[in-house]
Amino acid sequence: KAGVTQTPRYLIKTRGQQVTLSCSPISGHRSVSWYQQTPGQGLQFLFEYFSETQRNKGNFPGRFSGRQFSNSRSEMNVSTLELGDSALYLCASSLAVTGGFTGELFFGEGSRLTVL
Amino acid sequence: TQLLEQSPQFLSIQEGENLTVYCNSSSVFSSLQWYRQEPGEGPVLLVTVVTGGEVKKLKRLTFQFGDARKDSSLHITAAQPGDTGLYLCAGPDSNYQLIWGAGTKLIIKP
């Protein structure tokens, strides 16, 4: 079956712009999590959506937002981009059940954002 | 706050050598996972360990969960260039979100 699909794979933006990243989870997976990965900070959790509701949120400023649609596809948005937002943004889906840790996360290949 | 510390941060060895990487915490985890991430890809789950003292083998990779469930190790026997990648450990916090270590970047030279 198809894996997690993230688009776009690469993008370049300038400071102050905004960006929207998209993630299509594995069919049947209702949980989608977003991570920021940088060489210095490793994988940092942004937020998790389950059945169109944000279930958990990491320690990122309000410029980072997301949403999930009824088909489980998810988008994340970063407004007023800063140089420090340059990173690989990873989306992961899982067979989450309500209120519990499910086990395996399936990651997409990521969207590499460069902010100039 | 639960933290996972991985060591070493970077390891470069010749093909055929053995190696061990570590994932340590001062907190107890109900389970720990190991993922491998290759360049240009997302992390892929290798194993989940759930019982203190548990040992799991995946071909040349041996994973161990500490008796107190605060640490884990990954041992690779006769490393091959295909083992090159970033090895990440992760464990769930009290909110069922995964906490991640910073990773060990492993390079196996032919």
Per residue in B8-52, pLDDT tens?
Answer: 999 999 999 999 999 999 999 999 999 999 988 999 999 999 999
Is residue A73 scored above 80 in pLDDT? yes
In this predicted structure, what is the pLDDT of residue A69? 96
Percentage, residues of chain A above pLDDT 70: 93
Interface of B with A (CB under 8 A): 33, 35, 40-45, 48, 88, 90, 92, 95-98, 100-103
Q: Which residue type occupies A32? A: V
Whole-number CA gyration radius for chain A: 13
Residue B64 has phi, psi (to 5 degrees) of -130, 140
Q: Is A110 in the B-facing interface, judged by CB distances under 8 Å?
A: yes
Q: Do B43 and A109 touch (CB under 8 A)?
A: no
| Contacts B48 to A, Cβ<8 Å | 103-104
Is residue A101 scored above 60 in pLDDT? no
Residue-wise pLDDT for A2-18, tens only, equals 799 999 999 999 999 99
| Contacts A105 to B, Cβ<8 Å | 35, 43, 45, 98
**Cis peptide bond prior to B39, omega within 30° of 0:** no
Which of A75-89, A90-104, B85-99 comes out lowest in average pLDDT?
A90-104
Chain A interface mutation, best of B9, B100, B105, highest count of A Cβ atoms under 10 Å? B100
Rounded-to-integer distance, Cα A46 and Cα A58, Å: 5
What is residue A26's DSSP assignment? P
Closest in B40, B45, B103 to A42, CB measured: B103
Closest in A4, A100, A105 to B45, CB measured: A105
Rounded-to-integer distance, Cα A95 and Cα A104, Å: 8
CA distance B100 to chain A (A): 6
Beta strands (DSSP E) in B15-81 are 19-24, 32-37, 44-49, 55-58, 61-65, 71-76
Asked if A88 contacts B83 with a C-beta cutoff of 8 angstroms, the reply is no
CA-nearest residue to B30 within chain A is A101
The alpha carbon of residue A36 and the mean position of all alpha carbons in its chain are separated, in whole angstroms, by 8
Average pLDDT, chain A: 91
Q: Do B42 and A99 touch (CB under 8 A)?
A: no
Question: What's the average model confidence in pLDDT over B61-77?
Answer: 97
